[in-house]
Amino acid sequence: MVNQLNKFEEVKRKLYLLILPIIVSALVISLFYNDEYHQFNNTVLPLLAIVYSVSWFFVYRRKWFQYVELLNVALISVIHLLKVYDIVYYDMVIGKNIATGNATLWTPLVFALIIVSIKGKIGVVYSFALWCLTVTIGFIYWNDIPNYANESLIQYFLSNLVYFIFLFFSRHIISAYTKAEMLEKIAYEDSLTEISNRRKVYLLLDEAIEMKKEFSVVFFDLDHFKRINDEHGHLVGDKVLIEVSSLVQGILKDTDHFGRWGGEEFIILTFNRNKKESIDLAERLRKKIEAHHFPEVDNVTASFGIAVSHNKDTAESIINRVDEALYVAKSSGRNQVRFN
Which has more confidence, 269 or 340?
269
In this structure, is residue 277 part of a structural domain? Answer: yes
Contact 239, 247 (CB under 8 A): no
31-57 residue pLDDT tens: 776 666 566 667 777 887 888 888 888
First CA to last CA across the chain, in angstroms?
Answer: 62
In this structure, is residue 192 part of a structural domain? Answer: no
In this structure, is residue 215 part of a structural domain? Answer: yes
| Most trustworthy range by pLDDT among 23-27, 114-118, 120-124, 312-316 | 312-316
Task: Please check whether residues 171 and 210 belong to one and the same domain.
Answer: no
Query: What percent of the chain shows pLDDT beyond 70?
Result: 92
Domain boundary among 160, 186, 212: 186
**pLDDT over 90 at 244, yes or no:** yes
Helices and strands in the chain, H and E counts? 11, 5
Task: Please check whether residues 164 and 225 belong to one and the same domain.
Answer: no
133-178 residue pLDDT tens: 989 988 888 888 888 788 888 888 888 888 888 877 777 776 666 6
pLDDT score recorded for residue 41: 66
Instruction: Classify residue 264 by burial, with Cβ atoms within 10 Å: 0-12, 13-18, 19+.
Output: buried
**pLDDT over 90 at 228, yes or no:** yes
pLDDT score recorded for residue 37: 59
Domain boundary among 186, 221, 255: 186
In this structure, is residue 204 part of a structural domain? Answer: yes
Lowest mean pLDDT among 1-15, 124-138, 250-264, 316-330: 1-15
List the catalytic residues: 264
Task: Please check whether residues 118 and 261 belong to one and the same domain.
Answer: no
**Average pLDDT for residues 235-251, to the nearest whole number?**
95
Task: Please check whether residues 233 and 109 belong to one and the same domain.
Answer: no
Please state, in angstroms and rounded to a whole number, the distance separating the CA atoms of residues 230 and 68. 51
Domain carrying residue 22:
7-186
Task: Please check whether residues 170 and 202 belong to one and the same domain.
Answer: no
Task: Give the CATH number for residue 267.
Answer: 3.30.70.270
**Average pLDDT for residues 100-129, to the nearest whole number?**
78
Task: Please check whether residues 298 and 257 belong to one and the same domain.
Answer: yes
**pLDDT over 90 at 270, yes or no:** yes
**Average pLDDT for residues 278-295, to the nearest whole number?**
95
In this structure, is residue 40 part of a structural domain? Answer: yes
pLDDT score recorded for residue 331: 95
pLDDT score recorded for residue 146: 81
Task: Please check whether residues 52 and 142 belong to one and the same domain.
Answer: yes
Contact 279, 312 (CB under 8 A): no
Task: Please check whether residues 163 and 205 belong to one and the same domain.
Answer: no
User: How many domains does one find in the chain?
Assistant: 2
Domain boundary among 186, 211, 234: 186
In this structure, is residue 42 part of a structural domain? Answer: yes
Element (H, E) at 143: none
pTM of the model: 0.55
In this structure, is residue 191 part of a structural domain? Answer: no
Residue 150 CB-half CA count within 13 A: 8
